[in-house]
Structure formats: structure tokens, C-alpha cells
Structure 1
Amino acid sequence: MRGGGVVGVEGADVILGRDAAAVDAAIAVHRSGAGLTRRTFAERLGPLARTPALIRAVANARSVVAPKAAGVKWVDALREGALALSLEGRALKLRVHLATDPSTLTDADLPIAPGAEAPRPAPGSRPIYLALRNLGQSIKVFDGARDQLQLSFLDGVKSALSTLDSVKGPLRTFGRIDVDGLIGQLTGTTTITEEAKPNTFALRSEMQDGGPLRTALNRLAAIPDFALRLARVDLNVRRSGDAYIITKSGKAIMKVAVLGNTLVIANDQAAGLRAIADRAPEPARTEGALVAHADGSAVQDEIIRRFDLPSLASIVLGGFGDLDASARAERTGLDLTAALALNG
């Protein structure tokens, strides 16, 4: 192999190493009966050992993640990690199991709410969404760990949490708003959808009681602009019917409404928040607090966008169908499943 390492063959086994010496060393270990045995490999696979698969792999999950998240309680509890890729019917299915030490964790330490109960997503106008049960728990966990998280794909989340922290004091002073208490209300299903206009999204979240947040928004909308400027707060709230327009440095950045016990947020000022709140929740056929879906066209569009491919690439990518994913957390581990339908 040029530039990619060296491949060796020993009976029915294929060995890939960075150079010939590494491959020879691996073959020598195999011949001596030392190294990773089938029994040890099966033990490290955990529940995935019982899953027929084309590809299986194991790794020490903590050693992989810890350098970028040292000190995060859930990461420190990680032990073995395993994955299995299988072909089931007309779909590729990926399963990942990350084992954790339950003696070091409580349910509140988990990155998503524990248990088999699935969220009830309320899909939007485009066939792509993510739904999460008990968003409040995930916000609290990530907020408490954000200084330790050095993962680039979480930069947007960390920025949003930093902004939230920066306004907690002024919100409590001017609006008598307990932000942490309001976050604790987000125990139902939160659905995040990509909307029809480019680069627009909507968030629909079921609250225990929407009254306190509605009252808080009314208080904020009544605060004089000069008082916010004196407090050096560049966020402002303006009421517009049932909605509240959130501005930053004088520019509208999102639109918010609390309709009954449903919180709706959109970054499109023309979005109909009532219509988003009225979207019908659907039962999920998965287990765990998180579920995501994208239909084939959305999957193809996302691949083209992510990798900056020409539009003609859709001809080749036409073989990819719907993508469905879910995750379940327990103190003993996190299980993730993703299935990609294959067309043709």
C-alpha cells in the first residue's frame, strides 16, 4: 500500500500495519497464541458480540475521548467501546456501544436522559429532524462540562451556553427570572427541525408549565432599552402579538413564543410559530431519549454540502435512502444505532 501502510496475510487473517515491521510483529504475536484472543474480543464487544455483522471493532473508549474531554464525569467513567456494521435487508446498520462504570455515575451525569422511553418528534415541513426527551438534563450536563470539552463539533453548543450564562445575572435582576429553573421545565420532547427556507430552523419543546416563561418574557419586553444598555446587555426582547422578537446589538436573531405549554423558537422572522406549535407529535419506534431522521434527498443534500461536491454528485449518491438514528443511555453505557437505507 502506498502511503497507507502495509498489508500482510496469515492464513485466513489479513493484517494492516503502518510498516512491514509492525505487520511482522503482529503475525509473530498471533503465532505465539498471545495478544487479543477471540474470547477477549467477544468480551470487549459486550452486547454487540451477539449481533451478526460484516465488521466489528473494539477500542478503549476513554483513551480515545479523554484527551479532548478530561474531567467530564461521564467521560471519566467510560470503559470499552465497540461497534458493529451489518447489512440488514436493504439497509446498512451501525451499532455502537460505549460501556461505563455505573458505580461512578448517577442518572443526572448522563449526556441524555436515561431509559428506554423514546421522544415523540413533531416533524416539520422538511423531512429532517432531531428529537430529544428531557432537553433540560442535556443542557445542564453540557453546561457543567463545557470548560473541559475540547471537541470542535460542540463549539456551537458551547457558544450558546456561554451566551446563556452571560445573561443569567441581568435576567434575574431585571426580570426576576430563574434561568436554571426554566431549563428544568424542559422535560418533554424537544424537536429541532430544518425549515423550508435555506439556513432556517425551528425548535419545538414541550414544557411542564409554560406560564413562568411566558411571564418572564413579558417582564423582559417591558424593560426600558436604556436600563439594558446601562447593564451592558446587548440582548433585548420586543413583544409582537403572541411572539417575542429577540434582538442582539439591534439585530433580530430569533423569534420566540410560549403557546400553552409549548415553547417555540425560530430564526426565521417570518415563521408561523403557532403552526409549528400545532405540529402533531409522532410515536418513535426506537428506544432511548434521542432520535433523528433524514430522508434520502436530505442525506444526499447534506453530503454534497458538507464535502462541497458538485450538484451532479446526486446521481452517484442516489443509492442512499433514509437515515434513521437513535441513542439510549443508562449508567452502564450508551447505545447508538444508525440505519441507512439503500435504494436500487
Structure 2
Amino acid sequence: MKPCLLILVVIFSFIVESTLAQENICECCAYSSLQFREDYETIFFPALIKKKNITEVVVYTQASIAENPSLNRYKEMTFKFNQRGQIIARTHYNRNGKPHSIYEFERNGTGKVFRETFNYLDSTEQVINHFSSPEITDYYYDLKNRLIKMKERNTKGIVMPDIMSDFTKYTYDKSSRITKRTIQYYYDNHVPESSSSVTTYTYKDKKLSGESQTIADNKVILTTKTQYTKQWKPLRETGYNAKGDKISFQTLYEYNLQGKMTRYETKAFEISSECPDNGTYTDVYTYSDEGLLLSITHTYEDKKCELIFEYRTQSPSGQVSSGL
């Protein structure tokens, strides 16, 4: 699928009406926490997944919807893992628990994703190919195994020159922190044929802080200041408008002693977030004693929904069981 538009990548992709119903709040829950992540290994730890012989995680959304009790618990998505404990597929379902679409990930010898393929599914989880072609994205890495480019193929599955492609490129400093991200969208039979934005990142090592600036059409559209932990995980991100004189959004992070995120809070001031305009919401993460993610509780005002994670394992004999 095409990447999210730039500003919404920063704070999430869905703009929704300010009168969201409970059902939509729960859609926000799944999208913000799971769908548009680029790095799932920060919530599904490969070493632990491998150790526990986990082959699949089924994610359910659980809520309290008085108008339609049948929606109180439904299957949201599933993740499948290889023997290394790395994700190889992510399947999405609709509100009735029917399969909707699938992302499949091919990995290289070092375990890095080198190709992502998106397809729509029918009710039996078979790929639908009679009305749409697979959407394929290729991943490229440098000699240090750092992601340097993600590029979409055209509708026929052909790798095109960068000038005729949607892509995201990254450069890094000597500490492997991102110093520049370039995003381009290509529009076939359109004038202009493409649009792009560039975000540059700078860091202050002694202050454990950093700043990024996003430029599009030769204009600054967003400035973000970030405070980090000693491990360079974000603690607080504050985004400012184009003039830099007003806060657009702020995001706060909390972690446990093992470095796993336990709380995420974001508030949008001038820019719409995936929840209602100017909305504040939180995601609270809970884990098992072994470190498996058990739930993400998503709260907006007096509304709440929860993502429940059910792990399926496979014994040496090949038998599959649910729950850990």
C-alpha cells in the first residue's frame, strides 16, 4: 500500500470526524498501535517468539458497544512467524471476522525483509487477483544492514527508476541514527508527476535530545523536538507548526525496566490525529512475566477499547495449541 502522507506519518494516518462513535475509536486503536508500524520486533521479540515456539498471534479487539453487542469482541488481525521468530505475514479482518487483506514478507539471509507483497483476500483467505494486482514494495540495505530505501513497484510488478516510483530513503550517522528521510510520491499521467518531502534530523548527544525539520515545496511544514532515554528511545516528542511558534502535537513515552514500552500518549493541537481533532489518547501496554505482549488498552476521553493478543504454539510433534 502507499505510505501515509507525511504529516500523518508523524502522528498517524487516519483523519476522522470529531463525533467518532465507539466503533471508530476501536478502529483507531488497531491502526495506531499495529497497522502502520515499520518495526514489529519492538513488540514481538524474535528471540522470545522463537524460544516459545510461537507460530501465530491472533489479535482481537474488545470493546463495549451497546448498540451492537456482536462487535464487543472480534478478530482484528493475525501475525505469522518463521522459525526465527520473525513475522512473515500479517492478515487483516473486517468487523464480521472475515479476512480482508494480507501483507507477506520475504526475508534475506540475515533475516531482514527484502520484499513486501500486499493482496486482497476472499472469505476463504485466498488471494483475490481478478480485479487487482499485488502491490509490491522492495527493501534495500547498506553494508551495515541498515534500511536505506523502500520502493514500490508499478501496478504490473515491474521495478521502475526512482524518478517514476513511490519511495522512502534514509541516511544515517555513525551511531546509526537517521539523519535524513526523503519521501516521494509518483503520480502517473498527472502534472506534476511527483511530490516529495525531506526531513533532516540532528542530535545533541550530551543533552540526549534532537530536532527534525520537514520541508516540502521548499517550505518548512513541521519541526519536531525530541527528548531521548540513554538508549536513544524517545521520551517526549513535540511538533511545531510551519512558523515554529505553536505546538501542533506532543507525544509521551514510558518504558519498563526491560526497555519495553508501557505507555504511549499523544495529543494533537493544530494537526488532526487518528482520533478526533485536537484529541488526546493513550495506549497502555501490558506484558506477561516472560515479556510477551498481552494487551494494548486504547483510551480516548471516556471511551476505551482493548487489543487482546492470543499466542499459538507448535509442539515438536506438530500439534498447535492456543494461549500461553
Q: Tell which structure's C-alpha radius of gyration is larger.
A: 1
Relative to its length, the structure with more strand (as a share) is 2
Please say whether Structure 1 and Structure 2 have the same fold, judged by a TM-score greater than 0.5.
no
Higher relative contact order (CA 8 A, sep 6+): 1
Q: How would you bin the TM-score normalised by the shorter chain?
A: under 0.3
